[in-house]
Amino acid sequence: MKRIVASFALLLAVALPALAQSPDEAAVLKAYEALSKAIVAVDKAALEKLTVPELSYGHSAGRIENQAQFIDQLVSKRSVITSVDNTKMVVSIVGDLAVVRGHSSLMVASANPPAKSELELLMVWQKRGGEWRLLARQGYKV
């Protein structure tokens, strides 16, 4: 029994540090949650702050938008997202870039009829001026 407990303790000692997030990984996830909230709230200032002018925002239907187009779709209410729930987000930091993969459940009120959309996402975030900002995003339906 002592060997089992000792083995389990050793396994935890090795595994837990590997599961811990780095400060940058946590900051990227926080930035993505802030972006999700800004999309729902249609907070133009936050949307501009959390994305870069060179943004390439790929929708699951194939439409690609730059930063101005992405924000205009939301501000003009052509796209209305009433909720965003992000799960299974995995972050890999590579220098000043972060590659994020995960799942997002969106409630799209501008769809006719309003609909829930399940997406897998690939995003690239870049650290600029100490802040993580979205550089590229591609979603696809599951």
Q: Is residue 16 part of a domain?
A: no
Q: Is residue 14 part of a domain?
A: no
Q: Is residue 81 part of a domain?
A: yes
Q: Is residue 59 part of a domain?
A: yes
Q: What is the pTM of this model?
A: 0.84
Query: DSSP assignment of 14-80, as one string?
Result: HHHHHHSPPHHHHHHHHHHHHHHHHHHHT-HHHHHHHEEEEEEEE-TTS-EE-HHHHHHHHHTTSS-
pLDDT in 10s for each residue of the chain, 142 residues? 555 544 444 444 444 444 578 999 999 999 999 999 999 999 999 999 999 999 999 999 999 999 999 999 999 999 999 999 999 999 999 999 999 999 999 999 988 899 999 999 999 999 999 999 999 999 999 8
Total domains in the fold of the chain: 1
Range of the domain at 106: 21-141
